[in-house]
């Protein structure tokens, strides 16, 4: 083999080795950045939004498993509504009592039932602080309204508590409920589509909206704006009702003392003893 030929062979060998090294570096980079992306996604989902609804992420699935164990133990410890929501404070606000234990169902998919936009749907909340009525909105939010009516008919909201009260000093003013576990992570087992308002003006005082942890992730949790939140909320939550009677009861619930790490965990429990929907 001539020197010139050998030189060309050595150059090809070096080029081939360099190409292999570059491919190896790309593989390592892809793995590193891919792992980093996964970690960021998990961290973002775990953080969630502050008006949290049903969460189907792996992190939540782990928490749900742990929660199921806790709930099972609680079911053996409590013979009242705390069997399903063991984190609820034993002291009930407004001099009320802890309601009876209710088995809350879980569903594999959203309901297919529909509501009639020509009819009136009134949701009557019987709580430990008194009763209030919400007029649902089947015209602007037919999917969310039908979902709420369906769950109420299954007694899903009975014996659940308002697990979150965000005081006005925090920038928004809401009371949140609808979680059978009372932790902010519970739900009906499915998610529904959003029906978002055109502007934040929809979050007027005593309006009712569906809580969520991101787009199209609402299920059963809802919140009531006990003050005008049109300047504090973005139009990311489906508005499906308005409190028309018993606003003083809503105000009373909003004044329950709060604490906890985020300053929005009630120190006394307010229970939805029964929720029924009247159609006319």
Model confidence pLDDT, tens digit, residues 181-196:
999 999 999 999 999 9
pLDDT at residue number 47: 33
Residues 6+ apart with CB under 8 A from 62: none
Short-list 128, 220, 150, 209, CA closest to 183: 220
Choose the weakest-confidence range: 17-31, 153-167, 237-251, 265-279: 17-31
CA–CA dist 38, 247 (Å, integer): 45
> Residue 43: pLDDT above 60?
no
**pLDDT above 90: residue 258:** yes
Question: What value does the mean pLDDT of the chain take?
Answer: 83
Q: Which is it for strands 271-279 and 160-161: parallel, antiparallel or unpaired?
A: antiparallel
Give the pLDDT of residue 96. Answer: 96
**pLDDT of res. 246:** 98
Burial of 195-229, coded b for 16+ CB within 10 Å and e otherwise, reads bbbeebebbebbbbbbbbbbeebbbbbbbbbbbbb
Q: Are 235 and 62 in contact (CB under 8 A)?
A: no
Give yes or no for residue 2 having a pLDDT over 90. no
pLDDT, average across residues 78-82? 94
pLDDT of 94 over the 80 cut: yes
**Cα angle, residue 150 at apex, residues 148 and 155 outer, rounded to 5°:** 95
Q: Full-prediction pTM beyond 0.85?
A: no
* Residue 124 bridge partners (DSSP): 133, 276
pLDDT band at 77 (very low <50, low <70, confident <90, very high): confident
Is the predicted pLDDT of residue 40 greater than 70, yes or no? no
| Contact by Cβ (8 Å): 54, 221 | yes
What is the model's pLDDT at position 9? Answer: 57
């Amino acid at each position: 083999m001539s020197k010139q030929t050998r030189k060309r062979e050595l150059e090809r060998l070096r080029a081939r080795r360099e190409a292999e090294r570059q491919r190896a570096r790309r593989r390592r980079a892809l793995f590193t950045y891919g792992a980093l992306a996964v970690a960021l996604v998990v961290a973002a989902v775990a953080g969630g939004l502050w008006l949290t609804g049903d969460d189907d992420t792996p992190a939540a699935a782990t928490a749900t498993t742990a929660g199921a164990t806790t709930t099972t133990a609680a079911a053996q410890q409590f013979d009242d509504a705390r069997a399903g929501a063991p984190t609820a404070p034993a002291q009930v606000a407004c001099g009320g009592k802890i309601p009876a234990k209710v088995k809350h169902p879980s569903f594999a998919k959203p309901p297919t039932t529909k509501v009639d936009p020509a009819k009136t749907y009134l949701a009557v909340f019987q709580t430990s602080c008194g009763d209030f009525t919400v007029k649902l909105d089947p015209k602007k939010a037919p999917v969310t309204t039908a979902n709420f009516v369906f769950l109420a008919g299954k007694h899903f909201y009975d014996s659940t508590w308002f697990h979150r009260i965000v005081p006005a000093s925090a920038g928004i003013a809401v009371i949140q409920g609808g979680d059978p576990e009372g932790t902010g992570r519970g739900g009906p087992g499915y998610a529904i589509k959003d029906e978002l308002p055109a502007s934040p003006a929809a979050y007027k005082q005593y309006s009712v909206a569906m809580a969520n942890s991101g787009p199209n992730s609402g299920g059963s949790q809802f919140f009531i704006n006990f003050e005008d939140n049109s300047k504090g909320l973005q139009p990311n939550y489906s508005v499906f009702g308005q409190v028309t009677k018993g606003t003083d009861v809503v105000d009373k619930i909003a004044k329950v003392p709060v604490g906890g790490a985020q300053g929005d965990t009630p120190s006394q429990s307010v229970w939805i003893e029964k929720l029924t929907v009247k159609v006319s």
